[in-house]
């Protein structure tokens, strides 16, 4: 949860596309914007354009 909260820069309770891109960069994974969009689409199970805590955990578990 601490990692999630650090990535959630605006403290909205969800990680948006920009925050996900920054997170990948901080984790040493430079990704093209299109690749970040694809990752978001894959793990954004409810389709709201953001990753909630459960969706983020699923993403981190796969990587």
At residue 1, the pLDDT reads 86
Structure-block tokens of residue 52: 């909630």
CA distance 7 to 38: 18
User: What's residue 63's pLDDT?
Assistant: 56
Residues of the chain with pLDDT under 50: none
Q: Does pTM top 0.85 for this prediction?
A: yes
Q: How far is CA 7 from CA 21, 28, 35, 36, in A?
A: 10, 14, 18, 14
Could you state, in order of their start, the residue ranges of all structural domains in the chain? 2-62
Query: What is 2-62's CATH topology?
Result: Recoverin; domain 1 (1.10.238)
Burial of 56 (0-12, 13-18, 19+ CB in 10 A): buried
Tens of pLDDT, residues 46-58: 999 999 999 999 9
**Of 29, 26, 63, whose CA–CA distance to 43 is shortest?**
63
């Amino acid at each position: 949860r601490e990692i999630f909260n650090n990535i959630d820069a605006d403290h909205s309770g969800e990680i948006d596309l920009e925050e996900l891109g920054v997170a990948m960069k901080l984790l040493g994974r430079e990704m093209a914007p299109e690749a970040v969009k694809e990752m978001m689409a894959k793990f954004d199970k409810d389709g709201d354009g953001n990753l909630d805590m459960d969706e983020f955990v699923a993403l981190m578990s796969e990587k």
